[in-house]
Amino acid sequence: MRTLTEQIVNYASYHRDRRNIATHFVGIPMIVVAVTTLLAQPTFQLGGLTLAAVWPVAVAAALYYLVLDLRFGLVMAALLALAAGIGMAIAARSTGTWLGGGLGLFVAGWIIQFIGHAFEGRKPAFVDDLMGLLIGPLFLVTETAFALGRAPALFAAVQARAGPTHGGQRRAHAISPGP
């Protein structure tokens, strides 16, 4: 298993344009809430608790994040619990609201993500490594930590290995718009 630093450096290498990172701060939460919403149905009762597939999936993801890093894992566990709660609340509404909300957030979130990667001029990380789907939300937490002056060793590793962020300029290996 790759370390936190290896995972974040790899993911960051696909996300150096500040506009792309900004779109991820919108798109990734939308996708996470979409997934938790869609996994929140069907539900079943066990000992007075309403359970759905969203909970074991959220717990498994949280455990993975905790294994990578306790501090970031605790933040991710709290955010996953919040997303699962939102997903359960949406799923408790009508079937149309559940499906429309879940699918709408999912599609809109991915559109925003792909707009960001057009700025970046590089394909999304998950195309080369499916773990990118799990690391994306953690990347946002680490970027927030960096902005707050936290995790300086991780920040230094990202800067050294993935390079600094930039804004506005397309990279030399940018995807051409075609003929």
pLDDT in tens, the chain (179 residues): 899 999 999 999 999 999 999 999 999 999 999 999 999 999 888 899 888 999 999 999 999 999 999 999 999 999 999 999 999 999 999 999 999 999 999 999 999 999 999 999 999 999 999 999 999 999 999 999 999 999 999 999 999 999 999 985 444 334 334 33
Cβ-proximal residues to 108 (8 Å cutoff; 6+ apart), any chain: 27, 30
Instruction: Report the amino acid identity of residue 16.
Output: R
Both tokens of 77, joined, read 């566990």
pTM: 0.90
Whose tokens are 């609340």? That residue is 89
For residue 61, which of 85, 79, 77, 37 has the smallest C-alpha distance?
A: 77
Contact 31, 81 (CB under 8 A): no
How far lies 155's CA from each of 46, 66, 68, 135, in Å? 44, 19, 16, 16
Q: Which two tokens stand for residue 88?
A: 């359960």
Dump the DSSP string for 24-93. Answer: HHHHHHHHHHHHHHHTT-SEEEETTEEEETHHHHHHHHHHHHHHH-HHHHHHHHHHHHHHHHHHHHHHTS
Per the document, the length of the chain is 179
Q: Where are the domains of the chain?
A: 4-159
Q: Kindly state the tokens that stand for 89.
A: 């609340």
